[in-house]
Amino acid sequence: MGVIFRSEETFLSHLHHLRRNLLSHGGLQRRKDREHFNAFKSNPIVDPEEKVVCVTSGVSFLGSAIVEELSTHGYSVRVIVDSPEDVSKLDETTSGRHNVTVVVAKLTDVNSLVEAFNGCRGVFHTSSSIDPAGLSGYTKVMSEVEMRSTENVMEACSRTETIRNCVLTSSLLACIWRDQHGETETSQIVDHASWSSLELCQHKKLWLALGKLKSEKVAWKIAQESGLKLATICSALITGPNSHLRSSTATLAYLKGAGEMYANGVLATVDVTKLAKAHLYVYEGMKDNTASGRYICFDRVISTADEAATFAAEIRVPIRTIVQTTPLIDSPISFQLSNKKLSNLIARSNLQGSRCLNENRDF
């Protein structure tokens, strides 16, 4: 019996799903064949591509920090940018580094991403779609754009035979916005197993949280279908030198709902350099099968009125953006953030003589 499609849109949707399944099956089979072959090699040969990786949005605040961390630790880094103008910016900052190259590829074009990824062993997807015209720097439309970009990156990874691992930068926002009334019991601990509620993010118009949540969900779906090894890092608000200048729109988008986050004890930050190091720890753990799944990354929780005032001054926002009570009061700490999984990974890596700097105490 033939299949009847009610509309061209339905037909295209079915066709897209079939295409993804075929590509995912092909990528999974190639990975199985390669792993089967490697298992029989008695004298492993050093793979020249083993330390070749790709970073999306390398001109961003976080992207540039990850590029710096990877190149310092001997990786050959291929940086993806969207335009020739970004190439010029990176050329100025990476001048003299023989192990950093820049390529132009569109996150909207899977084929261009496959071409950019070819020859790399890993991909760090850090890109976040920011709309400067939006009041908070991030609109509802941008949440859909970000999800589609992540979907394209993941599909490109699954289609690129040389890619083995992918690290996706997600957000703590994808963990903390839980529907406390819709669940029979909400854990007081927010960790790597916690997921935000899609409906709650939509209801509260938390568009950055929605975009990060949908992006991470689609990434895990494609990874499971294709057999690609994926790890996600759910980052707190990124801070660091001149962060108020380099990522001001992203900061404003993250702080939507900051008053409630502060009141619940889940308003947290992380220094950009420490976050970049965490990406390296996770990636190297994936290579020796000691890292997988989700990780929460933060190094400071804003829990007192004094801390909130200091933080507001650092990022150049009014204190009322964070503490909405009069007089200013300390957070009652309704929930507790936990990055135990990441801390344990870093501790194990350091004990095993990891080449990364020993800064485990800061996580």
pLDDT of residue 153: 97
**Strand, helix or coil for residue 67:** helix
pLDDT of residue 183: 52
Question: Residue 2 — very low, low, confident or very high, per pLDDT cuts 50/70/90?
Answer: very low
List CB contacts of 68: < 8 A, sequence separation 6 or more.
Answer: 276
Indicate the residue type of 43: N
pLDDT tens string 246-267: 777 788 889 999 999 999 999 9
Active-site position among 51, 140, 212, 274? 212
User: Over pLDDT 70: what percentage of the chain?
Assistant: 74
Domain-embedded: residue 43: no
pLDDT of residue 250: 84
Q: What is the CATH number of the domain that holds 209?
A: 3.40.50.720
The mean pLDDT of 330-352, rounded to a whole number, is 87
Domain-embedded: residue 9: no
Beta strands in 26-156 (DSSP E): 52-56, 76-81, 100-104, 122-125
pLDDT tens string 118-137: 999 999 999 766 555 555 56
Give the total number of structural domains in the chain: 1
pLDDT of residue 165: 97
**Strand, helix or coil for residue 317:** coil
- Domain residues for the domain of 344 are 52-179+186-357
The mean pLDDT of 277-296, rounded to a whole number, is 96
Place of tokens 């200013």: 328
pLDDT tens string 225-248: 999 999 999 999 999 987 766 777
Place of tokens 């200048």: 245
42 vs 354 pLDDT, higher one: 354
**What is the pTM for the complete model shown?**
0.83
Domain-embedded: residue 290: yes
Domain-embedded: residue 3: no
User: Over pLDDT 90: what percentage of the chain?
Assistant: 58
pLDDT of residue 360: 47
* Residue 274 · residue 235 · CB < 8 Å: no
pLDDT of residue 135: 52
Domain-embedded: residue 30: no
Q: Give the tokens for residue 182.
A: 């819709």
Least confident stretch, 137-151, 174-188, 276-290, 335-349 = 174-188
pLDDT of residue 40: 30
Domain-embedded: residue 256: yes
pLDDT of residue 138: 82
Alpha-carbon torsion (89, 95, 97, 103), positive or negative = positive
pLDDT of residue 42: 30
List CB contacts of 74: < 8 A, sequence separation 6 or more.
Answer: 51, 99
Query: Catalytic annotation on 212?
Result: yes
pLDDT of residue 37: 33
CA 270, CA 267: separation in Å to the nearest integer? 11
Q: Provide the mean pLDDT of the chain.
A: 83
Beta bridge partners of 54: 78, 123
Distance, CA of 333 to chain centre:
26
Indicate the residue type of 237: L
Domain-embedded: residue 5: no
Domain-embedded: residue 157: yes
Question: Residue 287 — very low, low, confident or very high, per pLDDT cuts 50/70/90?
Answer: very high
What angle do helix axes 272-287 and 340-351 make, rounded to 10 degrees?
70
pLDDT of residue 48: 60
pLDDT of residue 353: 65
Question: Residue 94 — very low, low, confident or very high, per pLDDT cuts 50/70/90?
Answer: low
Q: Hey, which of 15-19, 179-183, 283-287, 321-325 has the most confident mean pLDDT?
A: 283-287
Nearest to 88 by CA among 47, 108, 59: 59
CA 66, CA 289: separation in Å to the nearest integer? 21
Indicate the residue type of 322: I
Q: Between the CA of residue 75 and those of 100, 117, 178, what are the distances in Å?
A: 9, 15, 38
pLDDT of residue 351: 82
Looking at residue 170, the DSSP 8-state letter turns out to be E
pLDDT tens string 23-69: 555 555 545 444 443 333 233 334 666 899 999 988 888 999 999 99
pLDDT of residue 44: 35
Q: Give the tokens for residue 4.
A: 């009847």
167 vs 142 pLDDT, higher one: 167
Going edge to edge, which strands form the sheet with 237-239?
A: 237-239, 268-271, 300-301
Q: Show the CA angle centred on residue 88, arms to residues 86 and 94, nearest 5°.
A: 100
* Residue 21 · residue 225 · CB < 8 Å: yes
